[in-house]
Amino acid sequence: MKIIEGGVCAAKGYKANGIHCGIRANINKKDLALVVSDVMANAAAVYTRNLVKGAPIYVSEDHLKDGRAQAIIVNSGNANTCNADGIEIAKQMTEIAASATGLKSEDFAIASTGVIGQPLNIEPIKNGIDELAKGLSYSGGRYAAEAIMTTDTYAKEAAVEFELGGKTCTIGGMAKGSGMIHPDMATMLVFITTDAAVSSEMLQKAISNDVKKTFNMMSVDGDTSTNDTLVIMANGMAGNAEISAEGEDFDAFMQALNSVTVNLCKMVAGDGEGATKLLECLVSGAKTEEAAKKTAKSIICSSLVKAAMFGSDANWGRVLCAIGYADADVDVDKIDVSFKSKAGTVKVCENGTGIEFSEETAKEVLSEKEIDIVVELNDGSGAATAWGCDLTYDYVRINGDYRS
């Protein structure tokens, strides 16, 4: 497996584009994206567990019931959520896109992101769809990735090459997410494309299993979005024998998929609103994997831990506090904690008790842009990793000014 450049156009047979059509007031920010496969693809998706759901989710669920899709249309700047005509507008978006591309509306997945509760005007989309479709290209992935951004500071893309049955296959993806990131399925929006041949049933199994260890283990602010959507398409153009059951090929596909999703997770977590640091919490030695997951997620979600990391403060007591309320089966008298970065490693806690360490060294370790919080529970073989970011003054500023 090899990491390569690119996103949703890295795999064979995918075109994409992104433009500014007028949904957003800032003409310098793209707000409409389109991804199209040259051929019909198998598809699967996972969505938010928030009871308040964006209208596009209902339309995508309906369109993907047959496990097939050929295109994805996405807008930013407006979530199309809690609107009386939301589903009607979402359906119109797929119909407009279908007309411009010569496809069927039911072969489109759809997603929206942005302000909740604000009616989405269809006119800018109608006016911009021809330009969007005409600009589709095999090198347009970056434009699409830019068009799905909201408060993101950069476009998030990842891709890998791998072998299946002697055929070179590729998986690529793009994501957006900066705030409202505390998902129970995926980050706000993730779109993954592959030229590998994989049945829709195995695609669903792949992403449903993968998100448990990737996007479900990430948090920026503890808020689960109404519009969380992950869609994956597999068009089979790499020419491998279709994966229709578990086995070596499925394992290889899962490994490649996980490489893409972990990279996207890190990008989203590190680009949290106002964030200055990417935090990675590595828990090992738990009685069970579930206990490790609960522990890692509790630490990465702690506002006090996040604030301490912003201040480069080795306040390890906050880590133990977060472990204590994680509702995990943990022996608190066995816990070891260390902080690690490219500046070095400093151990701060052993057997649940503080130990002497250099505050100066700790400050240097925690002043880096990427910080590992390493927790050894010394009670089993369960392990898990979670991702997050520090909590800064800018998070409040960005969200206080979000609609204005």
**Length of the chain measured in residues:** 404
Q: Which residues pair with 237 in a beta bridge?
A: none
Amino acid at 116: I
Question: Could you say which of 113, 150, 187, 214 is catalytic?
Answer: 187
Neighbouring C-alpha atoms within 13 Å toward the C-beta of 121 = 11
Look up 187 and say whether it is catalytic: yes
- Classified as helix, coil or strand, 37 is strand
Distances (CA, A) of 256 to 57, 196, 241, 251, 290: 26, 11, 17, 9, 24
Three-state SS for 41-79 is EEEEEEECCCCCCCHHHHHHHHHCCCCEEEEEEEEEEEC
H or E element that contains 349: strand 344-350
**CA geometry: angle 137, 267, 7, nearest 5 deg:** 20
**Cα pseudo-dihedral 276, 228, 212, 4, rounded to 10:** -60
Q: Pick from 74, 34, 266, 268: which is nearest to 154 by CA? A: 268
Among all residues, which ones are annotated catalytic? 187
